[in-house]
Structure 1
C-alpha cells in the first residue's frame, strides 16, 4: 500500500512541478507597440503607454550646440544637495503654458515637500523615514523652466519664471530635444480657431 501511495504522490508532485514551471505567453503585439491579451481582453488606448515617452518620440533630437543664450528651456533631472540640477533631459524652445495645468513654480515640489525644504509635509521629521532639518536632502526629481542666461562646457544658468536662477549641469548622457509647437492647418490662425468658410 505504501508503494502505491509513494508512487501516486511522486506522480502528483511531478505534475504540479511541471505545471508550475510552464510559462505561457498569451500576448499579441499590436502595430502601436502595445500588447493585448490573446484571450480577447482589449486595452483601451493601447494598454500601458508612457505618455512622456510618446511626447519625446516625435520631437527632433538636439545637441549641446542648440543651447543658446536667450532660448527657453525645460530641464528635468535630479536636484543635488546644493540645489543645483543634474539634467537628464533638456527640451529647447518655447514650451506650452504649464501654469494652466496647475504648475506655477519653476521647480516642482520634491519628495521632501517643497523645493528647498528639508522636512516632510505633515510630519515633524521623526518616524516613517522622515528627514530632520534637511538631512539627507538631494537626488530628488526636479524640473526647471526658464531662459538660458549663460552657458559653459558642462552647465547652464537658467533664469526661472519666478525671477530666480538655477544652475543645471549636463553631460554626454543628457538627452536634448527641440520643442516645436504644433502648426495650424488653418493658415496662420491660432490652433483651436475654426476654419472660415
Structure 2
C-alpha cells in the first residue's frame, strides 16, 4: 500500500513536470513567433526602401550621402542574424528613413508625386505593424521570462538550458524628447 502511494505521488509529479515543461516550450515558441512577425515586417519595409529611394533620387539626386546611409542600413538588416543585430539594423533604418523624409520635405513636387505618396503611406502602415509586433514580442518575452524565473518552472528551465529572452529596446537617443521651436523663440533650457 505504501509503495502504491509513492508510485502515485511520483506519477503526479512526473505529469506536473511534463506540464511545466510544455508550458516553457509553448511560451518560448510564442516569443519566437512574435520575433518572426517582426522579421516579416522588417523584410517588407526593406523591400519598400529601394522604390522609395529611387523616387526621391529623381528629385534630389545630389543627396547621395543619405541614399548610401539608407542602403547601408538595408544591407545591415538583410545580414542580421540575431534579435540584437536585427533591432540595431532596424533602428539604423528608421533613422536613415527619417533623414530621407526630411529631404522630401524640401521638394514640394516630390511630396505631390503619387508614387511617393503611395510608398510613404505603405511604409507608414508597415511601421505601425512593426510597432505592434514589437509590443507583442516584448509581451511574449515578459511572459516567457516570468515563467522560467518563477517556481516551479525555474527548477526545469535551468537544467533545460533555458535563458531569459532579450527585450527589444529603443536606442537611448530616441528616448530624449525632441526640442521643437515655433518661430524665433528659443526652446526652454532644462
Query: Normalized against structure 2, the TM-score is what?
Result: 0.24
Q: Which has the higher strand share?
A: 1
Larger Rg: 1
Larger RCO (CA within 8 A; separation ≥ 6): 2
Q: Which has the higher helix share?
A: 2
Query: Normalized against structure 1, the TM-score is what?
Result: 0.23
